[in-house]
Amino acid sequence: MPVQPKNGGYFFNFTLDRSFKESKMSSQDILRNASTLASYNVLLQVMFRVLTFMLNAFTLRFVSKELIGVVNVRLTLLYSTLVFLSREAFRRACLSGESGTHRSWRQVINLLWLTIPLGVLWAILLGCVWLWFLEVPDAQTVPYYGQAVVLFAFSGVQELLAEPLWVLAQAHMFVRLKVVAESLAMVAKCSVTVVLVVFAPEWGLYIFSAAHLVYTGFLVLCYAVYFIRFLGSKEAVKKNFPLYSVTDLLPRRHYEEPLVDWTLARLTWSFFKQSFLKQILTEGERYVMTFLNVLSFGDQGVYDIVNNLGSMVARFIFLPIEESFYIFFAKVLERGRDVRSQKQEEAAVAAEVLEHLLKLVLVIGMIITVFGYAYSHLALDIYGGALLSNGAGPSLLRCYSCYVLLLAVNGVTECFVFAAMSQEEVDKYNLVMLALSVSFLLLSYMLTWWAGGVGFILANCLNMGLRIVHSLLYIQRYFHSSQWKPLRGLVPSPLLLLALAFSAVVTAVSEAALCCDGGWLLRLLHIGVGGACLLLVLGAVLLTETQLVQFARTQLLPRYRKKHS
């Protein structure tokens, strides 16, 4: 609902207020930039998911599921753990607040370069664990495991070389740079993988190690080339960019200030403790599979493929929205202050945006849950044939469709909470994350012995539900003394709920009657039934969620926003 200020006019109706137009960087300007970033990130993630989708479908025909399990679970976990623990805390701390105005970028860059030695340390520690403490795959089925561990660890350290440049680009909303860099890197990775899988399949894990090295190398190269050309240019001067030459990107001390901002360093430490726990929650099932051997390498491969399919929409829609609007909330709100101590105009914008984001991800999540149940078996049969559609694959994907709804809500609520929390609150939340991490690992272990791969998803659902409850309670307390009620975004219209319930029943009946052993004609009829039901649901959204539609059109669709700005 629009917020009505004292002067009687609506403050936030998706147009710029005059006072904000006159300010240099108003909350509406930040919202527009964050929305643009989210839009391009969504497009980027769509491309990534499509390329990965096609690449996995292609490699399934040439390599064993055991090899896929080792690459996509064991080695990818090594890389993601190294990179996440080395940079996530620095990213969150350095992008919090008005970094470009009130902080010294010299001190920020000095702090960011600490990701390199930290990454080297993690590479050594994790590499030793992966080589000497974990079960080594059979060399005949999965060749060159030891060399692959070293190369994946090296690729993680290599990517950290671009971290100061990435933070600069994010803070100053260089949207196209990220799109171009990650697009080129992904295309290069897919090209190398396809060529080597076809012409040198005997290389085994060398194939995927080389492809990953190419990916991280392209990322670093693209960011380096861009900033070498940008710094000192007329465009940089026009934008009042805080750095002037390439040497400003290197760590060094300014004679009038400490080497780093110690307040920022302490915030980074708080986020670091939290990031360690968050990584366990994010990749918990991979840790359980890797360290406890509850599934064979082949079963791990099938689980990972189904997991990637199930999380495709979550990754290319929800994750970019979370990343981009975390920056928006962090810039609009002053960390650690309650809503009455904030600038009321900016607090109103934050509440309005939070409400619409919650409604947006809720609607998308419910659609995925409803249609994912009836089309999981067909999707797996088309994608991987009997290898995926027989056995536990369809059940895994159906459960994951329900999990996506929780992922959607949690991403938005946590991006607001992490942007608004004080350092003390972040430290307290670390204890909550610790409890959640321990309970998740225990649940994953027990439920996996009971239900196989489905147990991982059930454990994720339980823990994600607890995280959502914590975030909702924080948001409720934050806005309790104000006129804004952003949690109303979690209440869909009755007509939409009716349309979703009707679609769930119709598509379930259609699957039982038409799919998936009766030939392609019956499959196409099943798809047609789903398409008609989807149109019905979208019609209900257009009729009843008009403010949501307006928000999506003006803030998340780049072409429309440019035309009407």
**Tokens 């049969």 belong to residue:** 381
Note whether 192 and 210 are within 8 A (CB). yes
* Res 292: pLDDT: 82
Separation of alpha carbons 100 and 327, rounded Å: 12
Separation of alpha carbons 399 and 376, rounded Å: 10
* SS3 sequence of 383-424: HHCHHHHCCCHHHHHHHHHHHHHHHHHHHHHHHHHHHHCCHH
Joined together, the tokens standing for residue 157 give 């350290």
Separation of alpha carbons 512 and 516, rounded Å: 8
pLDDT digits (tens, 9 = 90+) for 233-292: 888 888 788 888 888 888 887 777 777 788 888 888 888 877 777 787 778 778 888 888
Mapped onto helix, strand or coil, the DSSP state of residue 565 is: coil
* Res 9: pLDDT: 35
**Tokens 């926003």 belong to residue:** 561
Note whether 466 and 437 are within 8 A (CB). no
Residue 361, Cα to own-chain centre: how many angstroms?
Answer: 13
Long-range contacts (CB closer than 8 Å, 24 or more residues apart) made by 118-124: 118/85, 118/86, 119/82, 119/83, 119/86, 119/87, 119/156, 119/157, 119/160, 120/157, 122/81, 122/82, 122/85, 122/86, 122/156, 123/82, 123/153, 123/154, 123/156, 123/157
Q: Which among 463, 549, 480, 438 has a CA at the least distance from the CA of 338?
A: 480
Identify the DSSP state of 137: P
* Res 27: pLDDT: 60
Mapped onto helix, strand or coil, the DSSP state of residue 118 is: helix
* Angle, CA 40 vertex, CA 36 and CA 44 arms, to 5°: 165
Residues of the chain with confidence (pLDDT) below 50: 1-24, 98-101, 558-565
* Res 43: pLDDT: 65
Identify the DSSP state of 6: T
- Give the containing element (helix H, strand E) for 290: helix 284-292
pLDDT digits (tens, 9 = 90+) for 15-30: 333 333 333 455 666 6
Separation of alpha carbons 61 and 73, rounded Å: 19
Residues 111-121 as b/e (b if ≥16 CB within 10 A, e otherwise) read bbbbbbebbbe
Separation of alpha carbons 404 and 408, rounded Å: 6
Dihedral (Cα; 325, 329, 332, 335), 10-degree rounding: -150
Phi-psi region at 65: left, alpha or beta (left = phi > 0; alpha = psi -120 to 50): alpha
Distances in Å between the Cα of 253 and the Cα atoms of 103, 113, 259, 506 are 15, 13, 5, 66
Separation of alpha carbons 560 and 171, rounded Å: 24
Backbone angles phi, psi at 111, to 5 degrees: -65, -40
Identify the DSSP state of 240: T
Distance spanning both ends of the chain, measured CA to CA = 21
Note whether 351 and 482 are within 8 A (CB). yes
